[in-house]
Amino acid sequence: MSLTTLLNKLRSADLKTKPKYLTSGLMELMKLTSNVKQIQDDVLKEILTLNANTEYLRGYLHGAYDKELFKKNVPVVSYDDVKPYIERVANGEPSNVISGKPITRFLLSSGTSGGKQKIFPVNNKFFEDMAFIFALRSSLISKHIEGDEKGKVVMLFFAREQSITPCGLPISTSVTGYLLSDSFKNRPSNCFTSPDEVTLCPDVKQTMYCHLLCGLRQRDEVVAMAASFASSLVGAVTFFESYWKEICSNIRSGNVSEWITDLSCREAVTNILGGGNSELADNIEEECNKKSWKGIIPRLWPNVKFIQSIVTGQNSQYIPMLEFYSNKVHLFSPAYGSSETMFGVNVNPLCKPEDVSYTFMPNISYFEFILADEGNKGEIVDLVHVEIGFVGRKNLVLSVNLEVTTEEDILKALNNATLVLQRSDLLLMGFTSYADISTLPGHYIFYWELKAKNISDTIKPDNKVLVECCCVMEESLSTLYREIRSKDGSIGPLEIRVVQQGTFNSLMEFSISQGASPSQYKTPMCIKSSEALVVLDNNVLARFFSDKSPPF
C-alpha cells in the first residue's frame, strides 16, 4: 500500500475549505464520476497539505506538498513498514508522528486479507465518509425502489466492547467506531426497527435476539432487511430457527426473556413490544411450523422490498441460501469498503448479484493501484488510468505445489459444484478451504456445511453427488492445477469434508473470541489458523474425494 492509504483516514474534518464534494445527491454522483482526475488531485493535495510536516512524510517531502514530489520520493510500503509509527502513537507519542491532525481512535481490521488483524489511526473524517456512502446508497435505492423511504429496516448492526490503547485512545472495529460516532448518533432519521440500545449492546447473542424480536413486532412496517455481509443474514435466519418459539412467546406476552440482562436494551425492547399481541405471535408460528422455510423472509415480513448486504467476493457463497430464504426478493449489494477506507457504491441496485460492480467515489480517498504479481516494485497507476481486469485480493490463494489458486478460481469451482448439489435435497450453508501439505502429495480440502431444504429433514450426504462435486471443482480450477494433478500426481485428489450443522457458527464464535467483529466477520475463504482448523476437524461428519484426474 502507499502511505496515502493510511493518511486517507486522517484527513481533516475541519479544514477551512471543507471538501465541496461531500454531498449525497444523485446529481453530485454524476459530477463525482465525470471529474475524477481533478477530484483525486484535490484529495491528494488536501492529504499532503495536512500531513507534509509529520515525522514520517517530512523525511521524504521536506515540508512540501507537491504531487510529483510525492510520487517520486514517497515509497510504496506495506503495513509492516508503517506499523512502528502507529504503535508509537498508540503507546503515547504525539499524533504528529504520522498525522497532521489529532488521532481520535484506532480501528481494528477484520484480518481478511492477510490473516492477521491490524490497527489503523483515524479521526472523525473516516466516519463522515461512512455516513456519506450510507446516504448515497440510500439515494440510489430510493431512485429504483418505490416506497422504501416510507418503511423501516431490520438492520443487523452489532457493536463490540472497545478497548483502550496505552495512550488512552479507544480501539475498536470500524463498525463499532461508526456506531459510537457523532455521524451515527446525529443521523438525519432513524428508520431501523431496533432502538440504539439494542444495536449498542455488547453481547452479540442478546443483540441478535432483540434485533429479530423488534423487527417481528413491527413486521408490517418493514420494507427491508440489511446487514453488513450476507453471512450475517444467513446467520440471523439460522439463529431464528433455534429461537422462534421463544420470540413468539415474548410477542404473545409482551415480556422480554429473562436472559436479556442488558438493562437499557431490555427496557427499550419492552417499549417496542408495547404489551402482548397473540394474533401476531400466532401468524409467525404458523409460518415457522410449515415444512419448508423457503421464502421465510417475505413470509415473516410480507412488505419487504429488498434485502441489503454485500454478496460479492467470499460472500457470494451465500447467494443461493439467501435466494432460498428470500424467494427471489431482490438482493442489493450496496457498497465496497475495507478497514482502511470506503471505496465505492453499486450504482445499479437492481442488477443481479452475480453482475454487481462498484463505482469508486474519488472524493473519499486518494487511490493508487499496482499489479498484484509485481509487488511493491511495479508500476503505480492512478484511479483515472486503471483498466478493466483489476480483481481480487492478493493474499486469498491456495497452493500445495507450483499452482496458485485465486479467490476467483475458488468461487468459479464452487459455483459449478453448487449446480451439481442442486440435484439433491441439500443446500450449501457455508464453506472454507485449506491447502493440506501435512501429507504427500498435498491436496485441497473444502469444508462444507449442508442443510436440508425441508427444515425437519436430517442431513444425508449422497456419496455419488458429493464425489461428483469434488470432480467438478477440480475440472474448474486452473490449467496448471489440472496438469500437475493429472500428469505427475504432485497434487492429491480434492477433498470435501462435510461438517455438522452449526460448525460455521462455532467458527465465527471462535473468531469473535480472538477479536473479530460480529458485524465485520466474514467466513474466511482459506483457513490459515491451526486453531480454526481444529474447530472444523472436530465436527467432520463425512469425507469425499475426487475419484478421477481432471482433464487438462
Give the pLDDT confidence score for residue 18 in this predicted structure. 36
Sheet of strand 540-545, all strands in order from the earlier edge strand to the far edge: 426-436, 443-452, 495-499, 540-545
3-class DSSP string for 284-327: HHHHHCCCECCCHHHHHCCCCCEEEEECCHHHHHHHHHHHHHHC
Q: Is the pLDDT at 318 greater than 80, yes or no? A: yes
Give the pLDDT confidence score for residue 439 in this predicted structure. 82
Q: Which of 309, 235, 247, 258 is nearest to 503 (CA)?
A: 235
Mean pLDDT to the nearest integer, 349-378: 84
Name the more confident of 453 and 179.
179
Give the pLDDT confidence score for residue 25 in this predicted structure. 63
- pTM to 2 decimal places: 0.81
**For residue 1, how many C-alpha atoms fall within 13 Å in the half-sphere facing its CB?**
19
Q: Is the pLDDT at 254 greater than 90, yes or no? A: yes
Give pLDDT tens digits for 28-78.
788 888 889 999 999 999 999 999 999 999 989 988 888 899 999 999 888
Mean pLDDT to the nearest integer, 441-462: 87
Q: Is the peptide bond before 493 cis (omega within 30 degrees of 0)?
A: no
Q: Is the pLDDT at 443 greater than 70, yes or no? A: yes
Pairing verdict, β 306-310 and 330-332: parallel
